[in-house]
Amino acid sequence: MRRVFCGLTVLTLAGVANVANAQYGYSNDYAYGRGPVQWHIMGGAALTTGHTADYLETGYTIGGGLTFRPAPMSLFSLRADLSFSRFNATNRLLNIGAEQNQTEIDDGWGDIVNLDVDGVLDIPLGARVRGYVMAGVGGAYRRIDLTQTVGFGGYFCDDWYGYCGIGVVPGDVLVQREETTRFAWNAGVGVEFPLDRGQSFFVEARYSRMETPNPTEFIPIRIGYRF
C-alpha cells in the first residue's frame, strides 16, 4: 500500500508540472538577480514505511536550509537541509516497552533530526514551473522515548482561580529512552514554482533512510518557500 502511495505521489507531482507547463515557459531566477545562494523553509507530513511503520506512526516534519547554484543558468545545484521529524509510537512499540520494563507504558514517540547534503538537477518545464530530482547523504540522530502517566500528589495553587489545596496532578515519567546517530541517505523529486523577485515555493517528496540495524525509513512530503 505504501509503495502504491509513493507512486501516486510522484505521478501527482508530475501531473501538476504538466498542467503548469501548458501555460508557461521556463526561466532561471538566478539570471534575474536572485544570486547563487538561496535559503528555504519547509514543512509537511512524514510517512513511515517498511519495518519502521511497525513501531512509529505517520508524523510531521519541519526544516530549512540553503541551496548553492555554482553558475547562472546552471541546472545543477547543491542543497543542504536540517530537518526535525516527530512520530507517535504504535501500540506494538508500547507493548514491547511494557514487556521489557515490566511496567505499564502509556505513551511514546520518536524524534529524528536529519542533516543532508544533496545534489539537485533541475528539469525545465516552463517559465513558471520546473521539476527537479535530488539525491544525497548525511547523518541522522534518532531518539525514542517511552513514558508512563502517574499522579503527583502535593499542595498546589491555581493562579487563575486563586485556589490552593492538596491534590493529585497527572504527569509523564520517562521509562525508557533509546538514542542513536547513524549515516543516512535520501532521494526525491519535486516541483518548484518561481515567484517575483527571486522567491519560489516548492512541493517535494523524498525517501529518507537511516542506517540503523533495522533501517529507519520514512517519506517526508513537504511544502516549502525559497527566498
Span 151-203, pLDDT tens digits: 655 556 666 666 676 655 567 899 999 999 999 999 999 999 999 888 999 99
Span 200-215, pLDDT tens digits: 999 999 999 999 999 9
Per-residue pLDDT at 10: 44
DSSP characters over 154-201 = EEEEETTTTEEEEEEEEEEEEEEEEEEEEEEEEEEEEEEEE-GGG-EE
> How far, in Å, CA of 203 to CA of 22, rounded?
19
Sequence-ordered list of residues with C-beta below 8 angstroms from that of 212, at least 6 positions apart, any chain = 142, 180, 182
Q: Is 131:147 a contact under the CB 8 Å cutoff?
A: no
pLDDT > 70 fraction of the chain, expressed in percent and rounded: 76
Q: What is 2-146+173-226's CATH number, 3.30.360.10, 3.10.129.10, 2.40.160.20, 3.40.190.10? A: 2.40.160.20
Sequence-ordered list of residues with C-beta below 8 angstroms from that of 65, at least 6 positions apart, any chain = 39, 40, 79, 80, 81, 82
Which pTM was predicted?
A: 0.81
The domain ranges of the chain are: 2-146+173-226
Higher pLDDT, 97 or 2: 97
For residues 13-29, give the mean pLDDT: 43
* Phi, psi dihedrals of residue 126, rounded to the nearest 5°: 170, 175
Per-residue pLDDT at 165: 62
Residue 29 has pLDDT above 70, yes or no: no
> How far, in Å, CA of 192 to CA of 203, rounded?
7
Instruction: Give the three cell numbers for residue 132.
Output: 527537479
DSSP percent split of the chain into helix, strand, coil, nearest 5 = 20, 60, 20
Among the ranges given (51-65, 109-123, 139-153), the one the predictor scored with the smallest mean pLDDT: 139-153
DSSP characters over 103-164 = S---EEEEEEEEEEEEEEEEEEEETTEEEEEEEEEEEEEEEEEEEEEEEEEEEEEETTTTEE
Residue 24 — pLDDT band, cuts 50, 70, 90?
Answer: very low
Per-residue pLDDT at 34: 65
Instruction: Give the three cell numbers for residue 99.
Output: 514487556
DSSP 81: E
Q: Is 39:64 a contact under the CB 8 Å cutoff?
A: yes
Q: Is 24:192 a contact under the CB 8 Å cutoff?
A: no
